[in-house]
Amino acid sequence: MSSHMTDPKDENTQAPESLAPHQKVEGGWKAFIFNTFLLSLILEAGLTLIGNIATGMVKTLLVFPQGLAGFCTGTFALLAILLIGSYRRLPWRPFAPALCIFIWQGCMYLPLQAYIDWKTVETLGAVAELSAGAWTLLRLQRMIGNRRPWLTPEAVADCPFSIFRTIIATSIQLFALTPLFLVYLFTSLQLLVSRTSNGFLMFNLTGVFTESRTYEKEGHEVLLLPTVHIGASSFYDELLQTLPADDAAILTEGVTDRKKLMKAKLDYSGVADAVGLTAQPSLAEKRKQAAVKFYDADISDFSSETISVLNGIGRAIEAASNSDTAGAIEALSDLKEPDTATLIRDILDTRNSRVLAGIEAEMPHFKTIAVPWGAAHMPGIEMGLLKMKMHLTNQRRVKVFGWNELSFFPRP
């Protein structure tokens, strides 16, 4: 009789595979959520690494599956975190590094871009994700004792739902983590904008600001007047008053299109009207006493890739101006992922070098040269002025608009 008895201790440590084939195991959907998160994480990281070294058609073909994998990773990571907060005894520890790295990576993308280029940030994040994914697979295989390295339904079968844990976890997420994340997001964006614009563009809790700077050399001065495409009318009025009138030249910004390569105009007036602001006017035309000089580029100077991107953005702006949200989304979705280096070279470097050449050419003829150009151009132009041995003599902050001036915010 004793030969038919079993030790209760042996039953508790029995491998999951010993369950009868016809026995229904609860919890398969929980295992599916954790496994899908892990698979999506590894897939996204792999596609990111391949995409960062791929070129041409291969890089274009990877955009959609990489985006889909990223969406699935984020969705199932959120579901996994909700499960951890609601169910007791879930074997979540093997997934903790992967979940933490995914959340950390998402949080670090914004501030890191202020110091490291985007491709490097992506590559570091992908390597971290792959490492965490491989570590999780090894831990699962050792913990469950299964030949297949993933979470089995049997491993999460005896994990009861806890209403108390759910209430606590939800309260922490809503009243602690969410406000902290919003503060983190706001401060990270502040750092990113200020760092990448070298302080020429910034924002705080009251609104958006630019910083005008004056550089001098041997009795001549250059006014760097950063502008934005959309702002309050008071911003452009104040900027206009800053423009010199006597013994001065204004190097106006504005890319020409002599060969009619742009099929859609970059007209921001519709978008500005929608948010209760004003599109940037032609400041040089309003200050007719000063000499207006043109040293900007022509669209034909850009690569075909950059022209295609500008046309796509133009179509999206036109659709948004006509309240065609679907059309704007479609126009943006049709854009092929551009080469960042090519865009920077065409839109910033090429044009900056031309305006710097204009400053050198006009400086002997005028006491003051004003450069009312976009804020994104200012760091490069400022660097050029420093190479000319010019020195900073004045700085002035100008308010572009206040958050309360936007039409979708309630007015006092």
pLDDT tens by residue, the chain, 412 residues: 444 443 433 333 334 444 444 445 566 899 999 999 999 999 999 999 998 888 767 777 888 888 899 899 989 998 998 899 889 888 888 999 999 888 877 676 667 666 777 778 888 889 999 999 999 998 888 877 766 778 888 888 888 888 998 898 888 888 888 898 888 888 888 988 998 899 999 999 999 999 999 999 999 999 999 999 999 999 999 988 888 877 889 999 989 999 999 988 888 888 888 889 999 887 666 666 678 899 999 999 999 989 998 988 888 888 877 777 888 888 777 777 677 788 889 999 999 999 999 999 999 999 999 999 999 999 999 999 999 999 999 999 999 999 999 986 555 5
Report yes or no: 248 and 220 within 8 Å, Cβ to Cβ.
Answer: no
Q: Rounded to an integer, what distance in angstroms lies between the CA atom of residue 408 and that of residue 275?
A: 7
SS3 320: helix
Cross-strand pairs, 221: 216, 368
Read off φ and ψ for residue 232, nearest 5 degrees: -75, 150
pTM of the model: 0.74
Report yes or no: 277 and 401 within 8 Å, Cβ to Cβ.
Answer: yes
One-letter amino acid identity for 291?
A: A
Residue 113 has a pLDDT of: 67
